[in-house]
Amino acid sequence: MPRYLVISTEIITMNAKIRALEKSDIGKVLSGWKAAFPFDDIPRERFENATLNDPNYVADGHLVAVHGKRVVGFVSAVARRGVLGQDGKGTPAEKEYGYIKGLFVLRNYSEPIILKQALLKHALTFIKSEGKSLVKVGHYTGSFLNPGIDVRYTNERQFYRRHGFDEVDYEEDVSINLTNFTPSSYHIAVQQRVAELRVQIQPYQDDFLAEMKRFVKRLQYISWFPSGWEKDFPYQGTHLVAIKDGEIIGWAMYNPVFYEGFFGPIAVLQEFRRNGIGTALLLESMIMMKMEGMSTITAGWADAPFYLKSGWATSRRYAIFKKRLSKN
């Protein structure tokens, strides 16, 4: 059984001290994350956005375990207060959920299982203290580190199962190599169909904002467009829109980063779906990113069948875990 002593906001477990994450810890946490999860390579900016800069961040949910000058463990847990939360992305269906974004203990630490159990216990206690009755590992619609546990991390999956979590769902990342990409006959047929519908795919411009607001209101997807979304919208990536008769009926976003691009989200209004408009937005994004020098593109937490039709392939698969918290 773990032996720990609560002192103010710190917990000492055996030889390691658990305390709140500080910005100065991030480099060491990322090194530890890479050692614990060799298939991950999380940039510092993305890590900070998903932890300290998450509007739902609370210090009690973000902890490091330190032994001397080493960071030997880390946990990130969040729980939206109320329904919407501070990021405005919560929905009534999620109101009872808290989320574990990430948890690791270095394998070469002298007592990894005891420490890992202590970090998990603290995360669950924090989530419960926020009034939540369910906890998920994955499916957090705010700034997330990964959409779940990569299925190749068998020890991690076993750890959550041993502690009462059920493996309830799976999500996938998809990717494509653009080096030799050219539009296929499928793409050409889609372009013709979209043209016949008098739909144009073009870059978003600042004077489209009023029409974009109408599109967002009709789309009704607050996880992507919470209250105040328009403030940061121009700076979040490169946007394409599908326009018919002067109205925006579809939208997609992509981000070129060095030689790798990231695609998504993408959305088409319900009444215009199944006409190839989404594929036309995807294709134009692929062409633009290839022109900008991207060699590969990845879409995370993706609707895989949609992308597979355009020559993409599954690149990662994640398991989602869920646990109901006890009332005691």
Nearest Cα to Cα of residue 33 among 101, 105, 99: 105
How many Cβ atoms sit within 10 Å of the Cβ of residue 259? 11
| Strand-pair category, 10-13 with 16-20 | antiparallel
Whether 180-294 and 4-171+319-324 are alike in CATH topology: the answer is yes
CA-CA-CA-CA dihedral for 188, 194, 196, 199, to nearest 10: -140
pLDDT at 258: 73
Between CA 121 and CA 324 the distance in angstroms is 14
Quote the pTM value.
0.89
Torsion-angle region of 162 (φ positive above 0: left; ψ -120 to 50: alpha; else: beta)? alpha
CB 322 within 8 A of CB 165: yes
Q: Residue 9: what are its φ and ψ, rounded to 5°?
A: -95, 5
* CATH match of 4-171+319-324 with 3.30.2350.10: no
Does domain 180-294 sit in CATH 3.90.1570.10?
A: no
Burial 200-225 (b: 16+ CB within 10 A, else e): ebeebeeebeebbeebbeebeebebb
CA 210, chain centre distance (Å) = 28
- Do 100 and 162 touch, CB atoms closer than 8 A? no
Any idea which residue has 């060491």 for tokens? Answer: 28
Helices and strands (H, E) in the chain, number of each type:
8, 15
| pLDDT recorded at residue 7 | 33
* Predicted local confidence at residue 9, as pLDDT: 42
Q: Domain-by-domain residue ranges, the chain?
A: 4-171+319-324, 180-294
Which uninterrupted H or E stretch holds 253? strand 247-257
Q: How far apart are the first and last CA of the chain?
A: 20
Tens of each residue's pLDDT in the chain, 328 residues: 333 333 334 444 557 899 999 999 999 999 999 999 999 989 999 999 999 999 999 999 999 999 989 999 999 999 999 999 999 999 999 999 999 999 999 988 877 899 999 999 999 999 999 999 999 999 999 999 999 999 999 999 999 999 999 999 999 999 999 999 999 999 999 999 999 999 999 999 999 999 999 999 999 999 999 999 999 898 889 999 999 999 999 999 999 887 789 999 999 999 999 999 999 999 999 999 999 999 999 999 999 999 999 999 999 999 999 999 987 6
